Structure 1
Amino acid sequence: MNRGSINRDEFAKYLEQTLDINRFRDYCPNGLQVEGRASITKLVTGVTASLALLEAAAHEGADAILVHHGYFWRGEDARVVGPKQRRLKLLLGQDISLFAYHLPLDAHPEFGNNVQLARRLGLVPDGRFGENDLGWLGVPADAGLGTVGGLAKDIEERLGRAPLLIGDPAQKLGRIAWCTGAAQGMLGDAIAAGASVYLSGEISEPTVHLAREAGAAYLACGHHATERFGVQALGEHLAQEFGIEHRFIDITNPV
């Protein structure tokens, strides 16, 4: 059982440097979002800082929570009322720190959502595309998958949910591009980079038409489902690096 501890501010500095957060223009602040106790011995990680995750972390006796989706998004209501008030009240009342990393966690070459999803799905990366190299390109490690339908079935087995497939299931697999979460806007960039299959978390109405007209297959695999793995990998690394306890808590989400 891990019994180490790390100073909160040293922990934040390590993450800032490791994830190179200043390289990104993001939609929210990356790093320490809510300040809790000065020492961290137990870390809980999760995808989104929902009230359910905060309550579970408090029950676990966590000193800090690290998530991909935190707070204070660009354009959100700045008032501390309703759900925001209840979330912040719990964190401040329990003296728990909240750390959040959005685009830096998507892009990281070792702990990022995209590289971790590739490992989970058996994809072999061989290129990057898009702003900040957020998008990834590659091929399946299993050449026997053969078709887009075969890939979709394999993804369902590995992620525990069926992806929404736009396109012909019998289409032969060519180069595959992927970017987790709400990355449907990168479909055009993926096609320009040479991909004939694109995989993300979400899809939007105009994206369907673009995929059809471009002759590309699109697999929407779930925002939450595709972004569970980066924060787990980072949490495990931090536990090993500092000797602290770590637990990933998955608050299920169908989107």
Structure 2
Amino acid sequence: MIAGSRHATGVKWASCHYNETIAMRKLPLFSALVLATACLNSSAQALDKDSLPGNYFLKGVMEVGSEIWLGKNGKFQYMLAYGNLDQGTEGVWEIKNERVVLTSVPGPMLFRLEKETDFKPEKEPQAGTWVAVVRADDFYVKDVELTFEAQSGKSATVSGTDPKNGQAIVTMPASEVWSRTGLRRRGSQDAWQWVAVPPARASTRIAGFRLTNQISAMTAFKSMELTAGKDGLIPDEASGLSQGVYKKAQ
């Protein structure tokens, strides 16, 4: 579940249970929408900003599970699961022209060193190179900028990770010892998050780094508008979910 959910379980979002079981039959999303059986009242309702914050779950769209969290601080998080596809984003929400408007503004990426039990390099780096591998729970992370720093203070920066394997590689003399790595979103002005590289990893010249808030690497949409109906918030047609309704958890 996403931030603020009173139903949070601690397991990764994509495997969480919703209030109803979602049968994953691998139908195309368009077909799932056509087969939606819920009869929804879409008549517009007045919006009350003070009563809007909370968790909303998508109803009325077969095969799809989705949740929106609206925070009192004007922030939101969005997640959607369809078969093996997980999408999400986060940002800010506001009321505009009697609609709830969600605008994606990804937050800073947060990292930690991979646990030794989880990090299994496929092969050792070539001599004279240091390799960092950046991943989330289920995918390699692209668009991460890294700075490799040696104990001597010598450093080298890579502008982005390889989207195919999450790797960033620099060349370093054999006399240098890897001390720590700074990570942040590529092209951002976020502060570097420095992660120490333990001696065991430094000696092998390869280390893994885990993105702990993987929603920060997702952009399911740039903007979404929802209209208040009798039963909840109805997403716009551009979302592909307009036959459904986000009902607020009680």
Same fold (TM over 0.5): no
Instruction: Give the greater-gyration-radius structure (CA).
Output: 2
User: More strand per residue: 1 or 2?
Assistant: 2
* Bucket of the pairwise TM-score, normalised by the shorter protein: under 0.3
Taking structure 2 as the reference length, the TM-score comes to: 0.27
Taking structure 1 as the reference length, the TM-score comes to: 0.27
